[in-house]
């Protein structure tokens, strides 16, 4: 049985946000030990990308009512996590961090990416079970204006995610997870 459900009132209550914040702070502390010549390149980049994971999660939380914005911010958070992994690899290869530390941090970012994907897939699953979307695009009401529907949806029905969109987004998330898994397996 999973963890007990908690009442989430803010993005700060999300475990994925808390994990991303902990990692960003750990990277901040580690990057203090990097050489001075890296101050405006590697240090800035790794700090910026690790902090952006948290920032994009909070923005996704604020925009969760709007399908496109929510998906975009979750995707941005995944992208920033991948960027951070690249900067961690540079840090390792430049001998600023040990291999054990590198592997540990990369694995923890993989866990964050999987949590983000799980959030996304749970929302899609809920939509599929209900047979409709949980979000309405901003500015679109419960019903279409008669005759305004040109994409094959029935007039007067709530705005659903098209099956094609769900398939494409699910494929994209799977591709991202596969790419992240490939990075971990690489020697």
CA distance 124 to 68: 13
Per-residue pLDDT, 65: 84
- The hierarchical CATH code for the domain 11-135+159-185 is 1.20.1440.60
Per-residue pLDDT, 39: 85
Residue 153: what are its φ and ψ, rounded to 5°? -80, 155
Q: What is the DSSP string of 44-83?
A: HHHHHHHHHHHHHHHHHHHTTTSHHHHHHHHHHHHHHHHH
In the chain, domain spans: 11-135+159-185
Mean pLDDT by groups of 10 residues along the chain of 187 residues:
69 93 98 91 96 96 85 92 96 96 97 89 66 42 36 45 56 58 46
> At a CB cut-off of 8 Å and minimum separation 6, what does 108 contact?
19, 23
How would you class 16 by CB atoms within 10 Å of its CB: exposed for 0-12, middle for 13-18, buried for 19 or more?
Answer: buried
pTM > 0.75: no
Per-residue pLDDT, 8: 79
Neighbour tally for 105: CB within 10 Å:
21
Per-residue pLDDT, 12: 92
Per-residue pLDDT, 69: 87
């Amino acid at each position: 049985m999973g963890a007990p459900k908690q009442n989430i009132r803010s993005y700060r209550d999300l475990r994925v946000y808390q994990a991303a914040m902990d990692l960003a702070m750990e990277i901040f502390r580690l990057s203090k030990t990097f050489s001075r010549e890296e101050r405006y390149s590697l240090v800035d980049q790794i700090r910026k990308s690790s902090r952006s994971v948290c920032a994009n999660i909070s923005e996704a939380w604020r925009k969760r009512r709007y399908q496109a914005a929510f998906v975009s911010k979750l995707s941005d958070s995944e992208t920033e996590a991948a960027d951070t992994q690249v900067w961690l690899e540079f840090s390792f290869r430049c001998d600023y961090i040990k291999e054990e530390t590198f592997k540990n941090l990369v694995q923890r970012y993989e866990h964050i990416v999987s949590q983000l994907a799980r959030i996304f897939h749970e929302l899609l699953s809920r939509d599929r079970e209900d047979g409709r979307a949980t979000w309405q695009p901003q500015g679109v009401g419960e019903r279409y204006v008669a005759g305004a529907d040109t994409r094959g949806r029935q007039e007067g029905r709530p705005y659903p995610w098209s099956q094609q969109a769900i398939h494409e987004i699910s494929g994209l998330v799977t591709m991202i997870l596969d790419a992240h898994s490939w990075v971990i397996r690489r020697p």
